Homo-oligomer: A and B are copies of this chain.
Amino acid sequence: MNSQAAVSVKRIADSTVRRLSAYLRFLEDFEGRGLMTISSEELAKRGGTTSAQVRKDLSFFGSFGKRGLGYSVPELAGRLREILGLGREWKIVIVGAGKIGAALAQYRGFRQRGFSILAAYDNNPEKIGRKLEDIPVRDIDQLERDIEREKPDIAVLTVPAEEAQSVVNRVVSVGVKAILNFAPTQLHAPADVTVKTVNMAMELEGLSFALTNRE
């Protein structure tokens, strides 16, 4: 009767979610070009995967296609938005107003996809009270108080590695359940808190390894 994203019966692999996110981007591109329908094969080619993979990924959540025809572009896009939880606005705080924090604060992609940045936090008195684009930089001492009042969904960490764990502890203590970490360090958090880490050093070392160990 209602069109809730299907219940996630079994745990969905991270790799699957990343691909869904990629499919949605392609669909939006196709949508923009007025295409009404698309096959798993075309979606696969665009995303560097296989059509079976595309169909399997979608099958975890329901069956959205028409045999012989493919998928309705707008419908599938809508379903993916539902599945990924993009139907609503997510509130973000950025902790750390250094170079990377500032670059993120100005990144257009966030707003476009329904992520709205409430504020950035720093401990540098020079920065506190100023604005990044139109995002206020606040004193990190207010962090817990503000989080309890404004209830952001996601904390983005762009503090030095040494401070990252302590910031995790602080935001977790006031109820934040999702963290995007840019500090090059392993973080520990309770099981009900999702942490994703973007680690440039690690990516570069992956490239270094690939360049070194080629046959």
Contacts and interface: CB of A to CB of B under 8 A. Distances in A.
A104 B201 CA distance: 11
A109 B99 CA distance: 13
Contacts of A115: 204
Contacts of A141: none
A202 B8 contact: no
A130 interface: no
Contacts of A194: 206-207, 210-211
Interface in A182-215: 184-186, 188, 192, 194, 196, 198, 200-215
A126 interface: no
A52 interface: no
Nearest to A212: B85
A113 B204 CA distance: 9
The CB with the most chain B CB atoms within 10 A, among A84, A153, A179, is that of A84
A161 B168 CA distance: 31
A202 B18 contact: yes
How many chain copies does the complex carry? 2
A93 to B, nearest CB: 13
Contacts of A8: 213, 215
The CB with the most chain B CB atoms within 10 A, among A90, A184, A205, is that of A205
B21 A202 contact: yes
Contact of A22 (B21, B47, B180, B186): B186
Contact of A186 (B5, B46, B104, B177): B46
A166 to B, nearest CB: 16
Contacts of A56: none
Interface in A2-33: 5, 8, 12, 14, 17-18, 20-22, 24-26
Given A103-B103, A109-B201, A198-B198, 5 more contacts: A5-B212, A100-B103, A115-B204, A178-B207, A194-B211
Interface of A: 5, 8, 12, 14, 17-18, 20-22, 24-26, 46-48, 83-86, 90, 99-100, 102-104, 106-107, 109-110, 113, 115, 153-154, 177-180, 184-186, 188, 192, 194, 196, 198, 200-215
